[in-house]
Chain A
Amino acid sequence: MATELAPTEIKALARILDELDYYGLLHVPPGADGVAVKRAYFASSRVFHPDANRHLPEDLQAAIARIAKRVTEAYSVLRDPRRRAAYDRRLAEGTGLRIQLAEAQAEAARSETQQRGRTPQGRQYYARAEADLQRGDRAAAARNLQTALTFEPDNALFREKLAELRGRPRPGSPGRV
């Protein structure tokens, strides 16, 4: 299926790309769930995937490629709850319509560190682990961190603490300038 957009539409979209937020680009409402986001990504890919548009003249292909890359970026952020939360904060603050992936990742980790977890259970077990550590009970702390991780398997803070407890050095801590 070739794109059904007219050349003028493609060019117009490429032009206003920087004025669209990810939701607008993928045509999903801000509250859209993972399924809706994925469906929108598939639909956009059918139209904007470079493979679908090989027959177009070069300038249009370039425009399509720009759009396709942005669509991928939008999907990569919106499908990941952590990155998406960081992005939503940025939108709310009005400080930008895009977020670079590495940056979203870093922001998510930062906010998790500040709040010591993003779920009530995660925060609760993390707090227990900290108390255990104060008492010097490393085994109990490890257990509680493990439990905290079941609620937030991707929480960088929890993981790092657990790794520390298990005697592994903090990843990348030496050599930092």
Chain B
Amino acid sequence: MGEIAVGIDLGTSNSCVAVMRDSSARVLPNAQGEATTASVVAIREDHGILVGNAAKANIIHDPKHTICSAKRLIGRVYASQEVKKAKAISGYEIVQAENGGIRIRVRDELFSISEISAMILRELKSVAEMRVGQPVHKAVITVPANFNDNQRQATKDAGRIAGLEVLRILNEPTAAALAYGFGRGLSQRVAVYDLGGGTFDISVLEIGEDVFEVLSTCGDTFLGGDDFDDRLIDLLAEEFMSRHGTNLRHDPFALQKLKESCERAKKALSVADEVEIRIPEIVPTSASGPAISVERRITTRELAALVQDLIQRTFKVCDEALAQAGVIARDLDGVILVGGPTRLPFVRSAVRDYFGQEPKAGVDPDQVVALGAAIHAATLVDAGQDAFLLDVTPLSLRIGVVGGIAETVIDRNTPVPIEQTRRFTTTQDGQEKVRIRVYQGESREASENELLGEFEFGGFRKAPRGQVWIDVTFEINADGIVNVTASDRETGTEASTRITLSSGLSERELENILEERRTERVQTEEIPAAGREVLGSVKLVPTPVRSIPEARERGPRPVVAAPPPETAAISSFDDAPGLDFAPEDDQPLLEAPPEEDDAEFLDIGFAGDEVEAPLHARASDEDLIDASLDASDSLFDDGDDAPELTEAQGSLLDGAKPDTSLFETPGTDLSSSNPGARKKG
């Protein structure tokens, strides 16, 4: 057996690891037999570190030492909006790092977000190693397509801290498309609708046999399933307030319980029409009165109404992506759903209505990204397998010029890897250095974009203004990571920089972290020898697994060795070891109304039996047929109208040759001269 490279979907709420074996990608279940592992890290009193569901169970008792949704913070600066929001809702302490970045303080230790993510990666690495029975050193890690350079760098750093060589940072929707189309010789245009825990992405791709070309990608990094939970929490908290006069939001303990229950209720509503949320004694007995409990039935329809506007917001983003790809919904041969929230029936039907077609089923929306990443990882280490991913940059790359303006150098949705050069000249006599600021974003106002970094470039000849020419070269590599080089053509001086935001981890910090080896404190549960060579198998699309949403909620992944694909999922659910559900005393209960007679499948995270929701089972049968009927039309049949980039409205000015476009810093100005003229040397 050759070298093993795994694919890791590092999610906001849950993460998943998969590997390619015998030309099919499989998810590697954790020690509890679950396909996904909660992206939660708990630091124990003895400074041991727990990751996953064990850590998640800790949230209620110990929110101060339990870190969840770290992905929402990765690669961000302390001053950002997202960090303020996280501070308001997190039980753990978020503090500002000396350089403006973020650290999390737990039990008198400071952790960078990359380290927290690294702990999750470390856990997944261990899971993979135990399952495949050999060390794993290489991985492809996925990120939301809309992640900027800082977030990608920080994720890559996390991989390195976890002891992984990150072969590629891959966009989640692209990974999903790969899982869908790999090895099928398709010629199709597809959209990937990826609604995750914290982010929304939509990508439009053209699949031409072994080539996966992303035509466009758009996203909203502030929109996800967590926001659905928040709406539900708001509803319940307000009702409780008006009925009992107690604000549950002021009690971290109660809030945490409420959060948990709402999240479980949302998940349950993917498969049931109605659930009952019951949190006994959320306000305990006290001098002022007896204990109060929460008891509230929620219907799917009610939840749908609560989040209606959020779903509509995703379609605004879809409009944009389709326009940028130069296609209309009718042109699409398929729509692929990714992310837990896409299991909600009203999300599915809204997506169906928007695109005018039934979304593809067959690949689990929680696993499809990891499967795609595993496929890509395999193609990168094994020369025999081919898939060429032609991705795009999700955000426009800009350079700061005078007047607080950020000029576009590379438009969003430009294919990568790419390199562009702009030529600038000095604006003052005897000028010795220039300051170069690099931004990502869609605004001409520099301040409204993400500052990726800045650096000073000097060492060129002192001369009257306009006589020194400096070439600034912007490179975006296949990971979507930005590199900027400035060079003085006269002296041949060159300064290159890894554009690291000052708040990111410097190379030295990274080395310190690697030396400290704190991630090694992650305590991973042993997987019994019996489970090691047996991989949970999830076949890829040509022979799709039945999409049985309700089964997924209940955890233990199939432990069946390479079974015949058609029956794999079903038989494995039959065979799933029956774990008994033993609720902890103060675990909030979530039950379906009695007449539903399927209360047990709402005990999310525990072993299930084959409860079938007839309605969904039927739907997935149809989907199955749909998925396997996907014909392979001849290549480029529908490619006559090659997609064009739609121009942004401000492009006239964006791209205009600046007359005396100046860098911002007084005294260190440059002006653009003949930008982009062909280099002659």
B contact residues around A45 at 8 Å (CB): 211, 388, 390
Within 8 Å by CB of A160, from B208, B422, B649, B679, lies: B649
A38–B652 touching, CB < 8 Å: no
A69–B383 touching, CB < 8 Å: no
B642–A102 touching, CB < 8 Å: no
Cα A111 to Cα B346 with chains together (Å): 48
A contact residues around B410 at 8 Å (CB): 101-102
Interface set, chain A 55-107, CB cutoff 8 A to B: 55, 65, 68-70, 72-73, 75-76, 79-82, 95-106
Chain A residue nearest in CB terms to B407 = A102
Determine if A131 is an interface residue (Cβ-Cβ < 8 Å): no
B675–A46 touching, CB < 8 Å: no
- Nearest Cβ in chain B — how far from A95, in angstroms? 8
Cα A69 to Cα B415 with chains together (Å): 9
Determine if A176 is an interface residue (Cβ-Cβ < 8 Å): yes
B478–A51 touching, CB < 8 Å: yes
B contact residues around A65 at 8 Å (CB): 417
B675–A51 touching, CB < 8 Å: no
Determine if A139 is an interface residue (Cβ-Cβ < 8 Å): no
A contact residues around B388 at 8 Å (CB): 42, 45-46, 49, 51-52
Determine if A109 is an interface residue (Cβ-Cβ < 8 Å): yes
Within 8 Å by CB of A101, from B210, B379, B420, B478, lies: B420
Chain B residue nearest in CB terms to A46 = B388
Q: A96-B678, A105-B651 are in contact. Are A73 and B418 (CB under 8 A)?
A: yes
Within 8 Å by CB of A175, from B389, B445, B475, B641, lies: B445
A interface residue count range (under 10 / 10 to 19 / 20 to 34 / 35 or more): 35 or more
A156–B652 touching, CB < 8 Å: yes
Contact string, B658-673, partner A, CB cutoff 8 A, digits 1/0? 0011100000000000
Chain A residue nearest in CB terms to B210 = A46
A72–B676 touching, CB < 8 Å: no
B420–A172 touching, CB < 8 Å: no
Name the prevailing secondary structure of the B interface residues: loop
Chain A residue nearest in CB terms to B416 = A72
Determine if A34 is an interface residue (Cβ-Cβ < 8 Å): yes
A69–B639 touching, CB < 8 Å: no
Cα A162 to Cα B669 with chains together (Å): 36
Interface set, chain B 620-665, CB cutoff 8 A to A: 635-636, 639-647, 649-657, 660-662
Interface set, chain A 155-176, CB cutoff 8 A to B: 156-157, 159-160, 163, 170-173, 175-176
B386–A1 touching, CB < 8 Å: yes
Cα A175 to Cα B208 with chains together (Å): 45
Contact string, B393-424, partner A, CB cutoff 8 A, digits 1/0? 00000000011110111110011111111100
A76–B678 touching, CB < 8 Å: no
Determine if B550 is an interface residue (Cβ-Cβ < 8 Å): no
Determine if A5 is an interface residue (Cβ-Cβ < 8 Å): no
Within 8 Å by CB of B646, from A98, A99, A153, lies: A153
Determine if B97 is an interface residue (Cβ-Cβ < 8 Å): no
Determine if A2 is an interface residue (Cβ-Cβ < 8 Å): yes
Determine if A117 is an interface residue (Cβ-Cβ < 8 Å): no
Chain A residue nearest in CB terms to B679 = A18
A contact residues around B211 at 8 Å (CB): 42, 45-46
Cα A156 to Cα B649 with chains together (Å): 6
Determine if B310 is an interface residue (Cβ-Cβ < 8 Å): no
B379–A51 touching, CB < 8 Å: yes
Q: A102-B407, A109-B655 are in contact. Are A163 and B418 (CB under 8 A)?
A: no
Q: A42-B211, A100-B422 are in contact. Are A177 and B662 (CB under 8 A)?
A: yes
Cα A17 to Cα B408 with chains together (Å): 25
B642–A42 touching, CB < 8 Å: no
B contact residues around A54 at 8 Å (CB): 380
Within 8 Å by CB of B380, from A51, A99, A101, lies: A51
B655–A176 touching, CB < 8 Å: no
Determine if B465 is an interface residue (Cβ-Cβ < 8 Å): no
A contact residues around B653 at 8 Å (CB): 170-173, 176
B639–A35 touching, CB < 8 Å: yes
Within 8 Å by CB of A37, from B390, B407, B411, B642, lies: B642
Determine if B297 is an interface residue (Cβ-Cβ < 8 Å): no
B642–A76 touching, CB < 8 Å: no
Chain A residue nearest in CB terms to B168 = A51
Cα A121 to Cα B403 with chains together (Å): 39
B contact residues around A124 at 8 Å (CB): none
- Nearest Cβ in chain A — how far from B323, in angstroms? 9
Within 8 Å by CB of B652, from A49, A104, A157, lies: A157
- Nearest Cβ in chain B — how far from A60, in angstroms? 15
Determine if B603 is an interface residue (Cβ-Cβ < 8 Å): no
A contact residues around B656 at 8 Å (CB): 106, 109-110
Q: A79-B644, A177-B660 are in contact. Are A113 and B414 (CB under 8 A)?
A: no
A50–B417 touching, CB < 8 Å: yes
Cα A173 to Cα B652 with chains together (Å): 11
B649–A163 touching, CB < 8 Å: yes
A73–B636 touching, CB < 8 Å: no
Determine if B444 is an interface residue (Cβ-Cβ < 8 Å): yes
Q: A100-B420, A103-B676, A154-B647 are in contact. Are A175 and B642 (CB under 8 A)?
A: no
A contact residues around B383 at 8 Å (CB): 2, 55
B contact residues around A69 at 8 Å (CB): 417-419, 475
B contact residues around A34 at 8 Å (CB): 639-642
Determine if B201 is an interface residue (Cβ-Cβ < 8 Å): no
Determine if A15 is an interface residue (Cβ-Cβ < 8 Å): no
A contact residues around B662 at 8 Å (CB): 177
Cα A2 to Cα B679 with chains together (Å): 31
Chain B residue nearest in CB terms to A55 = B383
A contact residues around B657 at 8 Å (CB): 103, 106
Q: A51-B389, A69-B475, A160-B652 are in contact. Are A102 and B676 (CB under 8 A)?
A: yes
Determine if B213 is an interface residue (Cβ-Cβ < 8 Å): yes
Determine if B88 is an interface residue (Cβ-Cβ < 8 Å): no
Interface set, chain A 9-61, CB cutoff 8 A to B: 18, 33-35, 37-39, 41-42, 45-46, 49-52, 54-55
Q: A34-B640, A38-B639 are in contact. Are A96 and B445 (CB under 8 A)?
A: no
Determine if B615 is an interface residue (Cβ-Cβ < 8 Å): no
Cα A148 to Cα B655 with chains together (Å): 23
A38–B636 touching, CB < 8 Å: yes
B642–A98 touching, CB < 8 Å: no
Cα A102 to Cα B390 with chains together (Å): 21
- Nearest Cβ in chain A — how far from B496, in angstroms? 14
B contact residues around A101 at 8 Å (CB): 410-411, 414, 420
Determine if B677 is an interface residue (Cβ-Cβ < 8 Å): yes
A contact residues around B416 at 8 Å (CB): 72
Within 8 Å by CB of A80, from B213, B404, B645, B649, lies: B645
Q: A54-B380, A79-B642, A175-B405 are in contact. Are A103 and B444 (CB under 8 A)?
A: no
Q: 27 A-B contacts, Cβ less than 8 Å apart?
A: A34-B642, A38-B213, A38-B639, A42-B388, A45-B211, A46-B388, A51-B388, A54-B380, A72-B414, A72-B415, A76-B418, A76-B645, A97-B678, A100-B420, A100-B676, A101-B414, A102-B407, A102-B408, A102-B422, A102-B654, A102-B655, A105-B647, A113-B652, A159-B649, A172-B650, A175-B404, A175-B405
Q: What are the 5 closest A-B residue pairs judged by CB atoms, nearest first? A: A100-B676, A34-B642, A106-B655, A171-B650, A105-B655
Q: A37-B642, A96-B677, A177-B660 are in contact. List 6 more A-B contacts (CB 8 A).
A: A39-B635, A73-B418, A102-B407, A153-B646, A154-B646, A159-B647
